[in-house]
């Protein structure tokens, strides 16, 4: 009788994860994480790939972290190769929360340079959590190829990832400050500012970097404005 009731409860929770109301899905994800069961893992990963609400996705990730890594890791590693950007992004985010370095080989250059900003940002965050000791300089070199990319939010995510690697980023940033692209130079200078003073605001670091670039004869404001778009 108890086993039958448990099966019924599990089935109800699985159905609730697909409810049209986000509040119901949120409660279901909380319930699943509170009482983990191997039968939930596949559905949690599947739902992460399509869940439209941020807070529900975050609860789904939390629920996955409550399950054994031996069950969640294989499912998530498959998802990082998905054709769906949200599936890749959320799987990477969840891997960063689990923090098991067995996942490191899945953090490929293709993901770190993914054309979808959300996927790339998730890959950057996962990479700095999962990178093995001694691999930081190689990771910094790949991340530096993304300097100047996207708008303020994307650039902040990249700067934060680079700064998390510590002083190993100094050589790649020094190189980036000498390139001809003013967006790359300004982003590299702003990241140097954050490395020196992590408590400094990124916006002020960017403005200071832009002024420095302008003083060294960089192209005019039209180029600078494009960095915000």
| Phi, psi angle pair for 59, to nearest 5° | -70, -35
72, 105, 130 - which closes a domain? 130
Assess whether 18 and 115 both reside in one domain. yes
Q: Is residue 83 part of a domain?
A: yes
pLDDT tens per residue, range 52-80: 999 999 999 999 999 999 999 999 999 99
**In a domain? residue 53:** yes
Phi, psi torsion values for 154, nearest 5 degrees: -65, -40
- Looking at the structure, tell me whether residues 150 and 215 fall in a common domain: yes
Query: Roughly how many angstroms between the first and final C-alpha of the chain, as a whole number?
Result: 60
Q: Does the pTM of the predicted model rise above 0.75?
A: yes
**Boundaries of domain holding 167:** 146-229
Domain assignment present for residue 47? The answer is yes
Is residue 157 very low, low, confident or very high in pLDDT (cuts 50, 70, 90)? very high
Q: What is the number of domains present in the chain?
A: 2
Whether 5 maps to a domain, the answer reads: no
Span 17-41, pLDDT tens digits: 999 899 999 999 999 999 999 999 9
Q: What is the DSSP string of 123-171?
A: HHHHHHHHPPTT-HHHHHHHHHTTTT-SSHHHHHHHHHHHHHTGGGGHH
Residue 135 lies in a domain: no
Q: E-strand spans in 45-128? A: none
> Cα–Cα–Cα angle for 82, 86, 90, nearest 5°?
90
> What's the pLDDT score for residue 198?
78
């Amino acid at each position: 009788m108890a086993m039958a009731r448990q099966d019924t409860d599990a089935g109800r929770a699985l159905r609730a994860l697909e409810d049209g109301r986000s509040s119901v899905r949120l409660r279901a994800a909380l319930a699943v994480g509170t009482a983990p069961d191997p039968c939930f893992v596949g559905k949690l990963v599947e739902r992460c790939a399509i869940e439209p609400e941020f807070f529900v996705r975050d609860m789904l990730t939390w629920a996955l972290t409550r399950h054994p890594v031996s069950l969640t890791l294989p499912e998530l590693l498959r998802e990082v190769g998905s054709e769906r950007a949200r599936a890749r992004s959320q799987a990477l985010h969840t891997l960063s929360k689990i923090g098991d370095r067995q996942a490191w080989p899945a953090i490929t250059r293709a993901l770190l340079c993914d054309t979808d900003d959300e996927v790339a940002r998730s890959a950057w965050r996962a990479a700095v959590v999962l990178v093995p000791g001694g691999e930081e300089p190689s990771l910094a070199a790949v991340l530096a190829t993304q300097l100047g990319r996207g708008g303020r939010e994307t650039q902040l995510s990249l700067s934060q990832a680079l700064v998390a690697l510590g002083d190993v980023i100094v050589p790649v940033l020094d190189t980036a400050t000498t390139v001809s692209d003013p967006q790359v130079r300004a982003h590299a200078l702003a990241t140097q500012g954050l490395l020196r003073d992590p408590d400094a605001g990124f916006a002020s670091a960017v403005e200071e970097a832009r002024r420095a670039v302008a003083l060294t004869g960089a192209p005019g404001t039209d180029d600078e404005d494009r960095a915000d778009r």
